[in-house]
Amino acid sequence: MDTPLIMRGRRIAESDIFFIRSIIEKHRAQGRKFIAQELCRLWDWKQSNGMAKIMACSELLLRLERAGYVELPPRKKGPGSGPRRRQPIQIPLHCQNPIVASLQELGPIEIRMVRGTHWEPLYKGLVAAYHYLGYCQTVGEHLKYIAFHQDRPLACMGWGAAAWKVACRDHFIGWSPAHRDRNIQFIIQNTRFLILPWVQVSHLASHLLGRMAKLLPQDWQKVYQHPIVLLETFVDSTRFKGTCYRAANWVHVGFTQGRGRWDTAHRHCVPIKAVFLYPLVKDFREVLTHLD
């Protein structure tokens, strides 16, 4: 390999490729899922909550196969096998009557963490229907929220793992690759932020961002058993100005280079985005540059 592949904080060097090939050959008959499980076991590759990173490992194996580094066994045939067809996301019934008010007039807003609850299908349906990027299942650590007013949804907010390498963010933090390898888990990304199109409430977006900055650290600690100290997001500057992030005191630190999450050939393939950060603690730099 010309450069090490990095997946979910794990560097895959040439020696790892030979090891992965040996595991594939040893367990070829058991299939792809078993191979991913075995690699997680041998590497002790776990999430902070103790669960094996099976999905991340499976994604790694697919990327290695596409790049020509390994040859995976054929997918097992059986009931429901063959090319997987994505079922359209169903949108639960919801009221679309306009909500036009000031924050003060609107009254109490409840923010619910909906991942793993009966509200999660509503989150998926609303994001699929009304967010310009649609809904995409997040791999790895993530949480989903809906803001409600009297059981009517106002907004959806998704949070997940941070981008691995962002030049302007990394410069702002001042960390080294070794620091990033160890501490990237302490940053999370705002992956989706949707104010529903029939909701017209001035300053609602910045208000929700401020509320989330207080909710997220305790929820993340409860679910994943580790703290978070910095939030990040990427704003498509061809569509948006990032006004709500600025109003909520997020810091604009620069722009992406337009290469995308998996680009290794230095080809610009996605829109350049503005990078905004929000420190959750004053000593976030000390936490993120700590190696002991």
Domains of the chain, each with CATH number or no CATH = 5-66 (no CATH), 99-288 (3.40.630.30)
The pLDDT score that the predictor gives to residue 94 is 87
The pLDDT score that the predictor gives to residue 190 is 98
| CB contact set of 155 (below 8 Å; sequence gap of 6+) | 146, 147, 193, 194, 195, 196, 199, 204, 205, 208
User: CA 242 to CA 234: how far, in whole Å?
Assistant: 9
| CB contact set of 151 (below 8 Å; sequence gap of 6+) | none
What pTM, to 2 d.p., does this model score? 0.75
Per-residue pLDDT of 20-57, as tens digits, reads 999 999 999 889 989 999 999 998 888 766 778 888 88
Provide DSSP, 53-64: -HHHHHHHHHHH
Per-residue pLDDT of 222-237, as tens digits, reads 999 999 999 999 999 8
| Residue 262 binned pLDDT confidence (cut-offs 50, 70, 90) | very low
Q: Which residues pair with 124 in a beta bridge?
A: none
Q: Looking at residues 190-213, what average pLDDT do you find?
A: 97
Per-residue pLDDT of 80-116, as tens digits, reads 544 455 677 888 888 899 999 999 999 999 999 999 9
Higher pLDDT, 210 or 237: 210
